[in-house]
């Protein structure tokens, strides 16, 4: 059953709505607005992000002798706050941080970050637990579809579109994939359609199955945390290959900016080229 309603809408927004109408899949303004609202309401289920920020950042020394990697400055604010900007843009306000190295300095920022409108909590690693171990510790906080992100990268991803693809594919994990000219220093995705068959680690440039690499940003279903053993665990080496064999690991190629700040050369490039997250 449908009801007719009348409402006022900004002229510029209406122009964007009209551009969606093709007469086939989207018939008219009413149909377009209904689809947009439905897409948005479904997306609102995605509220939680887990950020891996416990590493020592050894390749960023001497900077990280005194500053934890998450707090290394980029354009006048900590690196991790650029990731917060991305999450806030899409209404993802519940953020869990894994902390280890210089954890007191990261935890001391909680009140400041809460004033940004974020609900911040922490998982403390007594020893390094890799990319999977901290998720196991936090599984009681991760009871619905959630985001996982590396904390040392700058990225601009359309999270709503990624979530829509994740649900359409019935994926257990969807990995954001970015394109690089030389993939030989990364894990490179081998795809069948959008399904990830495997990652080829640091292949020779002319042997790489694609130029699409793991961008360190994932959408996961909560049952994945049950697959993670206690203690140290690598998502990339121990969990993702199992999901690939199950046919439940998918990729989401995106064209937005992405910078790995893991070493001094890459950090310097990010400082020069990163454009930040725009609210619109």
Peptide bond preceding 62: is omega within 30 degrees of 0, i.e. cis? Answer: yes
Instruction: Determine how β-strand 94-99 pairs with β-strand 119-124.
Output: parallel
Residue 66 lies in a domain: yes
pLDDT of residue 224: 93
pLDDT of residue 133: 87
Residue 213 lies in a domain: yes
Instruction: Determine how β-strand 195-201 pairs with β-strand 212-220.
Output: unpaired
**Mean pLDDT (whole number) for 107-136:** 86
pLDDT of residue 206: 74
Share of the chain above pLDDT 70, in %: 85
Residue 17 lies in a domain: no
The residues near 206 (Cβ < 8 Å, ≥ 6 apart) are none
Mean per-residue pLDDT over the chain, rounded: 83
**Exposed e or buried b for every residue in 139-165, given b needs 16+ CB within 10 A?**
eebbeebbbbbbbbbbbbbbbbebbeb
Q: Rounded to whole angstroms, how far apart are CA atoms 194 and 189? A: 10
pLDDT of residue 115: 87
**Mean pLDDT (whole number) for 62-91:** 86
* Long-range contacts from 208-211, C-beta under 8 angstroms, 24+ separation: 208/183, 208/184, 210/183, 211/179, 211/180, 211/181, 211/183
pLDDT of residue 5: 67
**Mean pLDDT (whole number) for 215-230:** 92
Residue 183 lies in a domain: yes
pLDDT of residue 249: 94
238-276 confidence digits (pLDDT tens): 899 899 999 999 999 998 889 888 788 888 888 888 888
Q: pLDDT higher for 108 or 13?
A: 108
Does the pTM exceed 0.85? no
Residue 236 lies in a domain: yes
First to last CA, the chain: 34
CA 66, distance to chain mean position in Å, is 27
Residue 109 lies in a domain: yes
**Mean pLDDT (whole number) for 53-68:** 76
Domain that holds residue 104: 45-273
pLDDT of residue 279: 65
Where does residue 91 fall: left (phi above 0), alpha (psi -120 to 50 degrees), or beta otherwise?
Answer: left
176-186 confidence digits (pLDDT tens): 999 888 777 77
Residue 8 lies in a domain: no
> Looking at residue 160, which CATH number applies to its domain?
3.90.550.10
Catalytic residue among 16, 168, 202, 242: 202
Share of the chain above pLDDT 90, in %: 22
How many separate domains does the chain show?
1
Residue 139 lies in a domain: yes
Q: pLDDT higher for 94 or 42?
A: 94
202 is catalytic: yes
Instruction: Determine how β-strand 173-179 pairs with β-strand 77-78.
Output: unpaired
């Amino acid at each position: 059953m449908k009801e007719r309603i009348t409402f006022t809408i900004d002229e510029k927004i209406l122009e964007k709505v009209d551009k969606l109408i093709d007469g086939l899949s989207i018939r008219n303004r009413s149909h377009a607005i209904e689809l947009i609202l439905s897409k948005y309401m479904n997306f609102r289920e995605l509220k939680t992000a887990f950020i891996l920020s416990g590493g020592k950042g050894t390749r960023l020394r001497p900077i990280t002798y005194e500053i934890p990697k998450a707090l290394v400055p980029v354009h006048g604010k900590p690196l991790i706050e650029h990731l917060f900007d991305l999450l806030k843009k899409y209404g993802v306000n519940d953020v869990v941080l894994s902390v280890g190295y210089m954890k007191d300095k990261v935890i001391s920022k909680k009140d400041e970050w809460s004033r940004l409108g974020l609900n911040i909590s922490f998982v403390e690693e007594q020893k390094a637990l890799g990319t999977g171990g901290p998720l196991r510790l936090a599984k009681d906080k991760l009871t619905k579809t959630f985001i996982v992100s590396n904390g040392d990268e700058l990225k601009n991803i359309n999270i709503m579109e990624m979530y829509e693809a994740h649900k359409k594919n019935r994926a257990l994990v969807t990995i954001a994939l970015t394109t690089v000219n030389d993939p030989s220093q990364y894990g490179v995705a081998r795809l069948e359609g959008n399904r990830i068959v495997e990652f080829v680690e640091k292949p020779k440039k002319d042997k790489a199955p694609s130029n699409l690499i793991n961008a360190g940003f994932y959408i996961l279903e909560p049952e994945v945390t049950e697959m993670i053993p206690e203690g140290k665990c690598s998502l990339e080496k121990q969990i993702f290959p199992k999901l690939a064999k199950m046919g439940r690991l998918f990729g989401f190629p995106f064209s937005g900016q992405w910078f790995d700040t893991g070493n001094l050369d890459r950090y310097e490039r990010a400082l020069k080229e990163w454009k930040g997250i725009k609210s619109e």
